[in-house]
Homo-oligomer: A and B are copies of this chain.
Amino acid sequence: MPTTEFLDQLRQIVGASHVLAEGDLTAYEQDWRKRVHGKALAVVRPGNTAEVAAVVKACTAAQVQIVPQGGNTGLSVGSTPDDSGTQVVLSLTRMNQVRHIDRDNLSFTMDAGCILQNLQDVADKEGLLFPLSLAAEGSCTIGGNLGTNAGGTQVVRYGNTRDLCLGLEVVTPQGEIWDGLKGLRKDNTGYDLRNLFIGSEGTLGIITGATMKLFPQPAAQLTAWAAVPSMEAAVRLLGLSHQHLGAGLTGFEVMGQFALSLVIKHMPQLRVPFAGLADAPPYYVLLENADSESEQHARERFEHLLELAFEDGCVLDAVVAESIAQAHELWHIRESIPLAQAEEGLNIKHDISIAASRIPAFVEHADAVLQREIPGVRLVNFGHLGDGNLHYNVQVPEGEDGKQFLRDKEGLVNHLVYEAVAAFDGSFSAEHGVGALKVDKLEKYQSPVALQMMHAIKNALDPQGIMNPGVVLAKS
């Protein structure tokens, strides 16, 4: 079919103004970190699920490949077209309505294009909590969160996006609509399609709607900052926190001293507790404790925990935020690490996970290997220790040219890190997804038996290979 005729078909489905085929489409064609610049045949912006289905049917009939896209904030290049100019970007952002709030079922149902922060706000206005929270929450969409099974800062208590989802609405590669939005907490009626689509990054179908869990708002939430003598001590503190805060433990972030030194250097207005000292300890932990009772009770529990931790020796010094503003300040330090890294210059990011018990040994091993193989390398280590998830990033050695270093050493750095991760039975992709960026890593590090099953599933559900080809799995 000639392109003009095909585009006319799309225009008839979604309206002419929602088929973008000219002008500056950079926002849709380029990934968040600007690593990849693609070229789309068109960007199509359907307004509802029926339109998504019709667009998919038109694309399938014309054998045009589809790249589903939410807020396009992903870090693994999973939602941008290739440079062929033949793929359609199907943007869900016009589908941004909350469809239904069910207070008694503690759930709500929404379009996939809803911005995460808007969903947090909707829950908040109902006096409820939607706990998914991550750096891109102001622009990422729930469909994207589901497509990548996003993590974030509350996983230690509430789980990944997967764990927050009660149901999906999906348009299949054949353009059929699967309505799985019953909002049930128990439902064993056949294979778990919901979890199959979650984390499949738009390669098996397009998530158009979701029913997500809500939670009661805690009566109080407190934040503490602790200096710890080692990663081993941080893991011990995690165990004590689980034991004494129970499900009250909603956040447990670890930060290395060098990561914080970059914050101190580039954001001098931030007051970083303990980390600026000459004999600063090597690691810091940010803890959050949510309490269903009262602030006073939360404070007592926190103080009790910290007393035990001092006795144990796993905490050297600690502060508990006295106010919400101070709590925000502490979190702001943690969240400033990526920006401070960028200010310092180019760096190589990793999003890895390892069983918490093995993280101290992993860090010791990986630090040593990298420093031996690449003298002067600087390790920016921080992340969600409560989930065994580290952002184990590598900053260019001081004084070296960043671009040159990346050209020469990025492959080696990734190789060393991922080999170390594999040696410790870890994952090279904890919460950012595989995207197009890490397809080769999946081929290398995923079990061949698992890979074979994944390809079989892809071929079974999308035999034409229409949906987001080259993402997650290599094109077969």
Give A residues with C-beta under 8 Å from B.
102-107, 148-149, 151, 155, 157, 159-160, 162-163, 172, 176-180, 182-193, 195-196, 198-200, 204, 215-216, 218, 235-236, 238-239, 242-248, 290-293, 301, 353-358, 384, 387-389, 425-434, 442, 445-447, 449-454, 456-461, 472-473
- Taking a contact as CB atoms closer than 8 A, the residue among B178, B434, B453 that contacts A450 in the complex is B178
- Taking a contact as CB atoms closer than 8 A, the residue among B148, B182, B454 that contacts A188 in the complex is B148
Q: Are A180 and B450 in contact (CB under 8 A)?
A: yes
CA gap between A195 and B188 in the complex, in Å: 12
Q: Which residue of B lies closest to A177 (CB)?
A: B449
Copies in the complex: 2
Other A-B pairs, 14, CB within 8 Å; known A187-B429, A247-B247: A104-B236, A105-B355, A107-B355, A178-B450, A182-B355, A186-B431, A187-B353, A187-B427, A188-B432, A189-B427, A195-B196, A215-B242, A456-B461, A457-B460
| Chain B residues closer than 8 Å to A246, beta-carbon distance | 216, 218, 247-248, 290-292
Q: Which residue of B lies closest to A218 (CB)?
A: B246
Q: Are B182 and A427 in contact (CB under 8 A)?
A: yes
Q: Are B353 and A162 in contact (CB under 8 A)?
A: no
Q: Are B104 and A357 in contact (CB under 8 A)?
A: yes
Q: Determine how close the nearest CB of chain B comes to the CB of A233; give it in whole angstroms.
A: 12
Tell me whether A104 and B235 are in contact in the complex, defined as CB-CB below 8 angstroms, given that A216-B242, A301-B293, A426-B182 are known contacts: yes
Q: Are B445 and A189 in contact (CB under 8 A)?
A: yes
Q: Determine how close the nearest CB of chain B comes to the CB of A163; give it in whole angstroms.
A: 7
| Chain B residues closer than 8 Å to A178, beta-carbon distance | 447, 449-450, 453
CA gap between A293 and B430 in the complex, in Å: 32
Q: Are A191 and B199 in contact (CB under 8 A)?
A: yes
Q: Are B388 and A355 in contact (CB under 8 A)?
A: no
Q: Which residue of B lies closest to A304 (CB)?
A: B293
| A188, A426, A432, A445 — most chain B CB neighbours (10 Å) | A188
Q: Are A191 and B187 in contact (CB under 8 A)?
A: no
Q: Can you spell out 30 A-B residue pairs with CB atoms less than 8 angstroms apart?
A: A104-B235, A104-B355, A105-B388, A149-B192, A157-B247, A162-B192, A163-B163, A180-B450, A183-B355, A185-B353, A186-B388, A186-B427, A187-B353, A188-B431, A189-B428, A189-B429, A190-B442, A190-B446, A190-B451, A191-B199, A191-B453, A191-B458, A193-B453, A195-B195, A196-B457, A216-B243, A246-B248, A246-B291, A247-B247, A460-B460
| A-B pairs with lowest CB-CB distance, top 8 | A246-B292, A247-B247, A104-B357, A195-B195, A460-B460, A186-B430, A187-B427, A456-B460
Interface of A is mostly: mixed
Q: Are B180 and A354 in contact (CB under 8 A)?
A: no
CA gap between A356 and B102 in the complex, in Å: 9
Q: Determine how close the nearest CB of chain B comes to the CB of A348; give it in whole angstroms.
A: 19
| Chain B residues closer than 8 Å to A235, beta-carbon distance | 104
Q: Are A244 and B292 in contact (CB under 8 A)?
A: yes
| Chain B residues closer than 8 Å to A445, beta-carbon distance | 189
Q: Which residue of B lies closest to A427 (CB)?
A: B187
Q: Determine how close the nearest CB of chain B comes to the CB of A131; give it in whole angstroms.
A: 12
CA gap between A131 and B149 in the complex, in Å: 25
Q: Determine how close the nearest CB of chain B comes to the CB of A108; give it in whole angstroms.
A: 12
| Chain B residues closer than 8 Å to A292, beta-carbon distance | 243-248
Tell me whether A199 and B188 are in contact in the complex, defined as CB-CB below 8 angstroms, given that A247-B246, A355-B105, A355-B182 are known contacts: yes
- Taking a contact as CB atoms closer than 8 A, the residue among B157, B159, B192, B216 that contacts A196 in the complex is B192
CA gap between A242 and B217 in the complex, in Å: 10
CA gap between A149 and B433 in the complex, in Å: 26
Q: Which residue of B lies closest to A452 (CB)?
A: B176
CA gap between A452 and B170 in the complex, in Å: 14
| Chain B residues closer than 8 Å to A107, beta-carbon distance | 355
| Chain B residues closer than 8 Å to A425, beta-carbon distance | 182-183
Q: Determine how close the nearest CB of chain B comes to the CB of A228; give it in whole angstroms.
A: 15
Tell me whether A102 and B355 are in contact in the complex, defined as CB-CB below 8 angstroms, given that A191-B457, A461-B456 are known contacts: yes
| Chain B residues closer than 8 Å to A293, beta-carbon distance | 301
Tell me whether A172 and B453 are in contact in the complex, defined as CB-CB below 8 angstroms, given that A184-B355, A427-B186 are known contacts: yes
| A106, A216, A354, A431 — most chain B CB neighbours (10 Å) | A216
Q: Are B200 and A191 in contact (CB under 8 A)?
A: yes
- Taking a contact as CB atoms closer than 8 A, the residue among B149, B216, B434, B449 that contacts A176 in the complex is B449
CA gap between A187 and B353 in the complex, in Å: 7
Tell me whether A389 and B186 are in contact in the complex, defined as CB-CB below 8 angstroms, given that A102-B357, A195-B196 are known contacts: yes
